[in-house]
Amino acid sequence: MLRAYYDIAQKEKFRKRFEGLWIGGQPTPLQGKFQILYLDFSRVGGIGALDRNFDDYCSGALNNFALIYEPYYYPGFEKDMKEQSGSTNKLNFLDWQAHNTGAAN
């Protein structure tokens, strides 16, 4: 629910989702202002290869983030993200690009 409230990519859906609720009539100044990296660690998989599963899952989540938020960075951001190997490199790439493009502000 917090994702639906704060996500800038879902800002246009706010009224439909929260209409009739107290929060729908009392939005805070931060509603719809953030890029959200959504992670559901229950989808990582079994413990047999946990480190690999975790890295693969996080890499996929970061690729999806780049797809959703590319308009806040630059054309080709999604492609450049996919070219990064491993979730650590992808996360560092995201951090650098957010600061370099002003998307972190």
Q: How confident is the prediction along the chain (105 residues), in pLDDT tens digits per residue?
A: 789 999 999 998 998 999 999 999 999 999 999 999 999 998 887 777 888 999 999 999 999 999 999 999 999 999 999 999 999 999 999 999 999 988 766
Are 81 and 93 in contact by the 8 Å Cβ rule? The answer is: yes
pTM exceeding the 0.85 threshold for the entire prediction: yes
Are 60 and 32 in contact by the 8 Å Cβ rule? The answer is: no
**Cα–Cα distance between 103 and 72 in angstroms, integer?**
6
- Which residue type sits at 4? A
- The CA–CA distances, whole Å, from 70 to 1, 16, 79, 104 equal 23, 25, 9, 13
- Residue 34's DSSP bridge partners are 7
CA 100, distance to chain mean position in Å, is: 18
